[in-house]
Amino acid sequence: MVVVETIDDLKRLRLKLTEPVGFVPTMGYFHQGHLALVRQARAESPSVVVSIFVNPTQFGPEEDFDRYPRDPQRDLALLEKGGVDIVFMPSVDEMYPPQFNSWVEVGKVAERLEGASRPGHFKGVATVVARLFDIVQPDKAYFGQKDAQQLVVIKKMVADLNMNLEIVAVPTVREPDGLAMSSRNTYLNPKERKAATVLYQALSLAQKLWSQGERNTERLRQQMTALIQKQPLADIDYVSIADAETLDELDKVKSPALVSLAVRIGKTRLIDNVVVG
C-alpha cells in the first residue's frame, strides 16, 4: 500500500494501476461502515484507492470541523489489512489552494432535508467529490446508504456532468441495537448512546406500519415523531418520507420511498434512513 499526499503523486501512481479502479472517498476515523465500502471495492475491482480528507467546505461555521475525530495511523493500519493499493491523504492547501474558486452546485435535490438544515453542505461535498473523481479517475466509487441524500446528490452530479464512472451504494452497517455506524457516534456519552437507538426504532416503526399497509405519510410521520418525542434527550430536526430519487415529500407512500430523519441527541446531530417499497 502506498500513501500519497499530493495530486501529482497520485496521478503518477494512478497510471500504473490495473483497471478497473474502485474508489472509496472518506473523511477517515474508520468504523465497520467504512470497512464495508473498502471490502466491496476490493471484491469488485483489481485496484482500490481510498482518500482520507476531512473536507472543511462541507462543514458550516458552527459545525464540528475542528473537533471531527481523526486517527490516521489506525486508519492506515486498517486499510493495509483491507488490501488497499493507494491511500490519498491531501492537505487542505493541496485540495483548496489559495486561488481556488470553482464550485459544484447540484440544485433542488441538494437544497432540502440536510441541505436545508446545513446550508452549503452539499456544495462542499459535490465540489470535493468532483475534484477527487477528477484526480483519481475511478471506474466505480463507493458510498454508504447511511448518507442517502449524499448518494442522491452525487448520482445527480455524475449524470448531469456526464462523469464516466459508476456510483455504488453500500448498505448501512448497524450496531447490534440498530444504531447506524457513524464517526459522530463517538461524541455520545453513555446515556446519549442509549437514547440514540430511538432513530432506528422510529425507522423500524415506519417499516412495520408500511408492511401492515399504512401508506398515509402524515400518519407515518406522526407515529414516528410521537415515538421519538418520548425520548427526553432527543430533539427532532426533521422526519421525512420522500421520493427516493427526487426527494420530493410524498403525501402517499409510493415505492421506493426514502424514510429519513435527523435528530439531535444532546449536542450531537445524527441522521439515518431506510427505504420502503
Q: Which of 4, 10, 21, 27 binds ligand PAF (CB under 6 A)?
A: 27
Distance CA 106, CA 126 (A): 7
Q: Which of 25, 33, 90, 138 binds ligand PAF (CB under 6 A)?
A: 25
Q: Which of 58, 182, 185, 231 binds ligand PAF (CB under 6 A)?
A: 58
Which is catalytic among the residues 14, 34, 131, 146? 34
Comparison of 57 and 231: residue with beta carbon closer to ligand PAF: 57
Distance CA 32, CA 176 (A): 12
Counting DSSP H helices and E strands in the chain, the numbers are 11, 9
Question: By CB under 6 A, what part of segment 37-56 binds ligand PAF?
Answer: 55
b/e burial code for range 195-214 (CB count within 10 A of at least 16 → b) = bbebbbbbbebbeebbeeee
Distances (CA, A) of 136 to 23, 50, 88, 126, 186: 8, 9, 9, 15, 30
Structure-block grid coordinates of residue 181 = 455506524
Question: By CB under 6 A, what part of segment 140-179 binds ligand PAF?
Answer: 147, 150
Q: Which of 23, 26, 142, 172 binds ligand PAF (CB under 6 A)?
A: 26
Question: By CB under 6 A, what part of segment 96-135 binds ligand PAF?
Answer: 125, 128-129
Q: What number of chain residues touch ligand PAF (CB under 6 A)?
A: 10
Distances (CA, A) of 58 to 16, 32, 76: 32, 23, 23
Q: Which residues are catalytic?
A: 34
Where on the chain is the footprint of ligand PAF (CB under 6 A)?
25-27, 55, 58, 125, 128-129, 147, 150
